[in-house]
Amino acid sequence: MSQTILQEDRPTHDVHGMSATLGRLHQLESELQSLRAEEVAAPVLAAPVRSAEWRVVAVVAVVLGLAECVFVVGRHRLSKDVEHLQSFGQLAANFGNSAVSGPKVLFLGNSLTRYGVDEAVFANTFQAHAGVEPTALKIVPDNTAVADWFYVYRNQFAMAQRAPQILVIGFEGGHLRDAASRHPDRLAQYYCSWNDWSELCARDLPDFESRAAFVLEKCSAMVGNRDRVTRRALDALIPGYREGMDRINASLKSHGTTSPTPEYQRLRKLIALAREQHVQVVLAAMPVPEHYEFDAELLAVVQEAGISLLDLRQVDGITTAMFFDGLHMDAAGAKLYSAAIAKRLANVIR
């Protein structure tokens, strides 16, 4: 009898086990369906979020595009120097096409030359002493040195076949010493072309960060002129800011290498570039209130290259009172300097 009961109990246990298994299967199926429903609903919920994100991106892109257009069209209003930088091409073209029979004289320098050379006085004095009327042009970007002048001359004059007969490089202190450009943004926007890339990487853009910044500054007028915007803002906030900074920057005697023996490889390259087109190179040491000496290495470059060095550190009649901001000559000083350099050039031209 007990055997019969045990045999009858087995189907009952099997039925209960199957019921439990089926119940678990139903539970898993329900969970799976819930997961599928969530997956279907997720894109529907994310779609509005993505749409909003793209609208934000579009608005930012439009704002940046408009800002870029403003800079491209109106950047000349940022400063007189920017207006001068933008005019390089036209100035060089007019200079190259000049029909004047006399020599074409290019003054290359910075604000010292901009304030110090009176082109009319120079032309009249030169003609009086040399017997021919010259064509004179000043290319004088602010706060620059030989690293910047090299690229400006190469791209605007040498490569464009607008070479002058005489190239006058005005300098003081360490302007001619080897050093990377202090303004890679201006190199990108105004001085260089993509053909200068190897030279830039060798001397002015030493690492990936500076090279990436150069590419961005080359492609964007807004990025390439951001320092000008900063200066305009500081001009408004700090009286006399720009004049003070120009004076400090231009008077840094350490502008260039800090090595005990300064090097002049960039100057050598500039001289060689000019010589390829039979340009007579003249270095003009300009007057400033504080006396400076010539490096022995600079004198060696002058000797080996066979170029002229005009020592105009002291010009008769120019007094310290004629440096209106402690560095740049006023109109009276510029007339005296321009007459002096014209007389000296008339004696050294070939």
Per-position pLDDT tens, the chain of length 350: 444 433 444 444 444 555 565 566 566 667 666 655 555 555 544 566 677 777 777 766 676 666 667 656 655 555 677 788 888 999 999 998 988 888 999 999 999 999 999 999 999 999 999 999 999 999 999 989 999 999 999 999 999 999 999 999 999 999 999 999 988 999 998 999 999 999 999 999 999 999 999 999 898 877 767 676 666 666 667 776 666 666 665 555 444 444 568 999 999 999 999 999 999 999 999 999 999 999 999 999 999 999 999 999 999 999 999 999 999 999 999 999 999 999 999 998 86
Q: Is residue 188 packed enough to be buried (19+ CB in 10 Å), middle (13-18) or exposed (0-12)?
A: buried
What's residue 5's pLDDT? 38
Residues 6+ apart with CB under 8 A from 126: 102, 105, 132, 133, 134, 136, 342, 345, 346
What's residue 29's pLDDT? 67
The sign of the torsion formed by the CA atoms of 174, 178, 182, 183 equals positive
- pTM for the model: 0.75
